[in-house]
Structure 1
Amino acid sequence: MNPDPRLLSIQDFTYPLPAERIAPEPLPDRAASKLLVSRHGQLTDKNFRDLPGELPAGALLVFNDTRVVRARLLARRPTGGQVELFCLEPVAPHRSLELALQQTGHCTWRCLVGNGRRWKEGPVMLDFTAADGQPATLHAERQAQEAGTALIDFRWEPAELPFAEVLRAAGHLPLPPYIDRPDTATDAVRYQTVYAAAEGAVAAPTAGLHFTPEILAELQEKGFATGHVTLHVGAGTFQPVKADHMADHPMHTEPILVTAGLLRQLLAHRPRPVIAVGTTSLRTLETLYWLGVGLLHAAADATDPTPATATELQVAQWRPYEMADAAARISPEMALTALLQHLEATGTDTLQASTRLLIAPGYQFRLVDGLITNFHQPESTLLLLVAALLGPGWRTIYEHALSHGYRFLSYGDSSLLLP
């Protein structure tokens, strides 16, 4: 019987991580990182350039094409002190990330505020130079405080600039909190994947940072299929688990976008292996299954007056564990087909949804057969995901990485996990 992940203690998912093993900088060459291959429990030390020769035959690799936005704004108080605003999510006039980034003149975002104790009232300001070389100014005023975050009203001149351009020109890359240094011109390139396309993340999907155009071309030459999803990584990916048991840890919500083309590609590819490039791609793929289950469940529930096409597309934190018995009768093919039918019924070719899915030991994987990922922090939800995929063998892998000189976390080395 699978364990109930709500009863798990995060203290059972820790390991000693010396500070010197955390990579503070990217390697000069993306593909020069090490690659630890775990195939059915057997470990092999490789270089990331060896990846195409280590993948299962006929595999489909799914990448997260989100692009990190320059979400850290360093503003000044009228008295000269600095206030840091870390933009987390839009609130008004749009909650849609795409629309919020195109908003002109003014907007409101939920932010983390650094050095805010001395910011009592009134606006803070930031002067910057727009892309066309003209001087510009951003004003920020705190509207409300909510559970460790603040609602910040932004206004700027020239007002015709979209907020995306304000962030690009005035902001800084939000490096992870364990990289304790200012961002640099190198980070502007290396904290993005080479295939990044859709702006909206405040943290990089770091498993993809190792890929180069040459490796992607080699994958194509060797006949591997590739596909893309979009999950805009939120700051919650760095949120430590403070609760004693996972039942008391709230997962953050992250928006996902998946095209009908990718859904059809997944359907046509089955039952050949699907390899997720990164935990965000994995969570997106597994979310697709549960979105399909939700549509089918709503359509079959005679007591539910809401038509399946109007069902809000989101996956809650514990939904897979609560619906495991009902989902046992729903195949991945059925779930993917339900999503395609939903898109046809709503006249769109892109699925827009959100997920709070927590993958922990006790989870049964539906769409993913393997994972390319970096080495994650102790007592993190990302480590729980790895433990769900590998079982207790995750410890052996991390002990091997520590004893063989692997670099850890966002700018660290990589692994290919094939359970």
Structure 2
Amino acid sequence: MDLGTAPTALIGRYDGCSVGELLTELSAESKARLASEIREWVAVVAWADQNVVDTGVPIAGPGAPLVSEFELMELIAVLGRTPDGGRMHVGRIIECAWRLPSVYAAVIAGRIPPYKAHRIADQTRSLTPDAAAFVDRQLAAVANVSWAQLDRLITEAILRFDPERAEAERKKASEHRFCEVSDVDEHGNALITAVVDIADGHDFNTAIAREAEVRGRLGDEGSLDARRAQAVGAIARRDLALDLLTTDEDTGEITVRSAGRKVVMDLHITDTTLTGENPVGRWGDEPVTTAQIKQWLRSRETTSIVVRPVIDLADCIPVGSYEIPDRHKHRVRSRRHTCSFPNCTTPAVKCDIDHEVPHAEGGPTCPCNLNPLCRRHHRAKTFSEWHYLQIAPGHFLWTSPHGRLFLVGPGGTRALDPPRAIDP
């Protein structure tokens, strides 16, 4: 079978190279990448050593230095990482350098790859200094440890040096149960995740199996899995009805009142919507199909319907106070769905609403001067030298305390600093 050949433009300088030559090149690139990672580790440790403050934030385990919160934000932005991911990345390096010196030395010497050291640091961060030192000593002798061996080593360290924690975790594990429903996806489905007592799990499985079987006997042609999924809702709605049984004190008559569903949809109205060609509904921020909406609203007797029109996102009507009205918050969060800080992915619904030009300096409380910032980056903009300018709707030019520039827009974050050559 002829699969063709790749265009020369895609191969570039490797055109005509043999497989052996390509493997040699790939090996060299892999070594260069590892060397680059190691240099980054050394540079991060040097950075941490210069940014230790008494009131800093802890990003590694007990005994590791506290680093400046706002300087850390700049480092993370320069590394091109998300705020949370960058915080974890830097914290792992500091964990190794200060609490796992043998592991750190092995990374610098190339005996332990950085990705494995990251995993080790994740495991040791919660340990006491003595327990972390024990793990470090054990790993110094055996660099090529499996994940299972590492887990056992961490468990042993906790048992040896923190027996109270070990006992508390044992008891907590027996009560570590939960049941949660995820956000709806684009098909109107949600994921139910639970950890329950085995007896409760058995009863639940029996109940949905029986409900699914009954549905099949009554003519439901859906698959067994689909019928089991529908059974969950049917069982839940019966329980809602049972919770709302009321008895008339005079007649003794029992009345059943089911709360049913309450569906809240944001309907985006366009000219084609009015003709029935392009209706779009949303559950929260997720779009759903017309068919899904019809299914939710099919039972009018047990469904409460609230329809909210979406306001014009381009509208700009200021108010005279510092407090931001809900209609402005809704407009701002509909316009930008995440925090406006570089690489931050915090949903706008969980963010503060920031006055780009502070209200105290004459900035209006108007959607054109309001943008979502998560609490962490709102504080950075307010209390440090981080600042931004909205150069176009939805496009923000951020400047870090040391003058680094980052352009944030619908397509993500782009560092505007020219690349610099790094000495080998």
Query: Which range, TM-score by smaller chain?
Result: under 0.3
TM-score, normalisation: structure 1: 0.20
TM-score, normalisation: structure 2: 0.20
More strand by share: 1
More helix by share: 2
- Larger relative contact order (CA 8 Å, sep ≥ 6): 1
